[in-house]
Chains A and B, each alone.
Chain A
């Protein structure tokens, strides 16, 4: 089993969107998939309730009060975390994970927050030792925008790299309200957009 923690201190940067997409893609590639919601807001749980029966099944887990035990038979477990997870709760979640996925927004205001967040994560033993990789995902990315270029420069300056760039698209909000993701769609245009996610999914699978 492989556990993937989706996390960032910032609210609204796309944690739930990224977590649900990873979960749906894994389920679609026939891995038995679980999605644990660590957030009291319960957006991931709500999304699962909306999920239609014809979509690839994902096992939901409510871990908003405390981390639970990974269920038997699950190949991929995705953790969707709340904004502002800190202290022991953060360490405990990171300790469970085989890899960390951090969505970041290409906004000036996010840089400082991302910086703080990455420093904090880096102090956790498993991350410091290099056992748990941190994968950065630019979300709501717009190619050729000033903000996009700023983000690239900032990441490069920090000696890190972006694993994937997820372009800003209205359909993400629409899909979320139906309990779906891009990976539940089979149109040619959906498949093209799925390619944006592939570097992240492949990295998660390898980690």
Chain B
């Protein structure tokens, strides 16, 4: 949510009346009815040119046409907006000449504009001003939008509270938004009205957000690098919320968890130089969200990977079908509970709190003067020190595992995961072919450990799901769990030898961050 000036939070229909009354009590508040029609050619020429074409009718018979162009990549400040009054609701197509090349304009003219979708809502807006936590003044506008989107033959409700920052720090934006969460206002509305309309028209599920690849600048300070990477993690989490709450795809659940795990590893890697005190409660809530999605993820892995593996080992396929069906029901229930939590006030406050912690630079609070040394050191040496530490820790865990039991291999798995994230965060600092063999060997080792862990988790998930299942299913779960147990016993007895071999292969590779 970097540089964001606007946040929308879902408002429950039951809460709208009270919320509107509350807003209207503020001096300068008013309600206006807004009708907006968005136009494009049938084959979406304007959209392809990243142009939005809107005719809006306000109170009274006033029509305003607005053309918005996206900023070209090389000229970020050139985002255009052309506004003109219209005599009636019919769009004035000639205005497009200002933003389209002549041949493109002719193409649009020939094709003709048609309404693509419309938004119809009442907006109650109220000005707001004050001081943020650091004492800086801000002004903002609160807007409660209630109405609908008409897109093709679909009607989508609009019911959201928007906070728009007019002046002040973006930390203020998150503080204000957080203060308005509760009483039916909860759940970040990540997707804009226009994007929701387009999504309804295309019929596609909201997209899944992956981690952006990060190219660290070795000369930038370690501190600045943390800010960027943490922002990316929070973005990845936020951008997966629409899919998570609307369709809950396997991949969205997975990537949302990846986002949280990356953030948490980032906090471990950067622990000596950042302050998490102000975010402690939010980070604890984030961990709970992670575990909650973990229950869903475990079922997904069980259903898609482990169960087919077990099926091959020969249990009654009717048991398999029963278990699959029961798992699907359980997933559905867990997912619904998760959506309720994600769109609830606790999660919303957490997300706004974390964004504010990051935007407000609260993570830069200094615990002791020597932290300044760390923070000012360029990322290069910092990365090498942190990688070295994670590497040494994994070596120690491996030594224990080689002498110990399967549980020690699981501890190694956790340490390797942290090492892997550190290698991924910082890998871009080194020549690609330097890091590759190390990361590849690390990955194969991790895959083996992961498979073993999947089996163990699968067994636990089978038992837990069995306990929660209805009586006829319970017996099927019991029988499948027995297969899983036997399979796991077989797999782990042979595994440690292979794991030790893979570890030794990995340990032979020189750490790519060391100079000599």
Which residues does A use to contact B, with CB under 8 Å?
25-26, 28-32, 72-73, 75, 183, 186, 191, 194-195, 197-198, 201-202, 205
Contacts and interface: CB of A to CB of B under 8 A. Distances in A.
B376 A205 contact: yes
Interface magnitude class on chain B: 10 to 19
B272 A29 contact: yes
B368 interface: yes
Contacts of B218: none
A201 B369 CA distance: 10
A28 B389 CA distance: 14
B336 interface: no
Contacts of A32: 385, 388
Given A72-B516, A73-B388, A205-B376, A29 B370 contact: yes
Contacts of B377: 205
Contacts of A202: 372-373, 376
Most buried by B among A26, A30, A72, A198: A30
Contact of B369 (A73, A75, A194, A205): A194
B381 A25 contact: no
Interface string B184-223: 0000000000000000000000000000000000000000
A82 B48 CA distance: 75
Contact of A191 (B272, B369, B374, B389): B369
13 contacts: A26-B373, A30-B272, A31-B373, A31-B385, A73-B388, A75-B381, A75-B385, A195-B369, A197-B369, A202-B372, A202-B373, A202-B376, A205-B376
A194 B370 contact: yes
A112 B516 CA distance: 44
A28 B372 CA distance: 11
A28 B385 contact: no
B247 interface: no
Contacts of B369: 191, 194-195, 197-198
Nearest to A27: B370
B371 interface: yes
Interface of B: 272, 368-374, 376-377, 381, 385, 388-389, 516
A195 B369 CA distance: 6
6 closest pairs, A vs B, by CB?
Answer: A29-B373, A194-B369, A29-B370, A29-B374, A28-B370, A198-B369
Contacts of A198: 369-370, 372
B373 A183 contact: no
Contacts of B372: 198, 202
A204 B20 CA distance: 60
Given A73-B388, A75-B385, 13 more contacts: A28-B368, A30-B272, A30-B385, A30-B389, A32-B385, A72-B516, A183-B370, A194-B368, A194-B370, A198-B369, A198-B370, A202-B373, A205-B376
A25 B371 CA distance: 10
Contacts of B374: 29-30
Given A30-B385, A31-B385, A75-B381, A25 B376 contact: no
Most buried by A among B272, B369, B372, B389: B369
Nearest to A195: B369
Nearest to A190: B368
Contacts of A205: 373, 376-377
B376 A186 contact: no
A202 B374 CA distance: 10
Most buried by A among B368, B371, B516: B368
A130 B272 CA distance: 34
B222 to A, nearest CB: 11
Nearest to A193: B369
A198 B374 CA distance: 12
A186 B376 CA distance: 21
Contact of A201 (B272, B373, B381, B516): B373
Nearest to B389: A30
A186 B370 contact: no
A183 B369 CA distance: 9
Contacts of B388: 32, 73
